Amino acid sequence: MPVLPSWLTEPLWGQFAALLPERSTYAPTHPLGCHRPRISDRIVFDKMLQLLRFGCSYQAIADTTCSATTIRNRRDEWIRLGVFAKLKQIALESYDRIVGLVLDQIAVDGSITKAPGGGEVAGRSPVDRGKQGLKRSGMTDGYGIPLGRVLTGANRHDSPLLAPTLDRLDDLGPLPDDITVHLDAGYDSDKTRTLLDERGLHGRIAHKGEKAPIQASQRWHVERTHAWQNAFHRLARCYERRATVINAFFDLADTIITVRSLIRRAWTTHRWEDRPRRRP
């Protein structure tokens, strides 16, 4: 069984391939032009999807078609070209054009996952007996489409991460005049309210010590998005040590989430050639 259904992987690969520069099968600098050919980008892209979904090691996913070294080298090449970030931005723009991002309602929250290998953005986890952990401060729109994130160690509090997380709104272009930011009780402080006022944002913050059912706010959208992201095992248990690589996998996961939501929501209103026969 494929790691993702074809109605999702094919549009992902089509746009991803359009962002890649042209490469000859054989290196033009070789004097004879008869050395080992370059591994197809499609093969490596499928390997990246498998790594993201299953969370296994590079050696475990390597086979006769592609080695672990090739996967790492091609991954780093694509990161230097900014392909993963561009792919995510295109997915967001497409979703906004066809369905529409709900930017007047924003939800922000943190999520702690395991990082057994440590690394640049790992720290002692307060919920895992001091083991190495990774925290992401994620931001979503009113439906749950991931808009951006900040990565840091698990020992960091959510509140100081709010400002750099909200800075990701600057990449989205024109914004509504009135934006409400939904936050949990971890952000209940005068400092947070001052920060929101300085940015012209309205805050709906749960109060400490008061029971707040999840239905009382639209905060559950970001919680659901964290669950969607944790379904990709490479993010739920991260062995990568470099922040650029972790962000690349997050960008790929966010693109999958966005395109999947786009296809599901557009299925009843749009028609296209490769449209799934049933609503995904």
Contact present, 159 and 181 (Cβ < 8 Å)? no
Check residues 146 and 216 and name the one with the higher pLDDT.
146
Q: Burial level of 110, CB count in 10 A (0-12/13-18/19+)?
A: buried
Using one digit for the tens of pLDDT, what is the confidence trace for 240-261? Answer: 999 999 999 999 999 999 999 9
Check residues 91 and 172 and name the one with the higher pLDDT.
91
Q: How far apart are CA 237 and CA 154, in angstroms?
A: 13
CATH assignment of 102-242? Answer: 3.30.420
User: Residue 33 above 80 pLDDT?
Assistant: no
Using one digit for the tens of pLDDT, what is the confidence trace for 60-106? Answer: 999 999 999 999 999 999 999 999 999 999 999 999 999 999 999 99
Using one digit for the tens of pLDDT, what is the confidence trace for 114-133? Answer: 999 899 999 999 999 999 99
pLDDT at 213: 64
For residue 205, what is the DSSP state?
E
**Site of tokens 């392909």:** 83
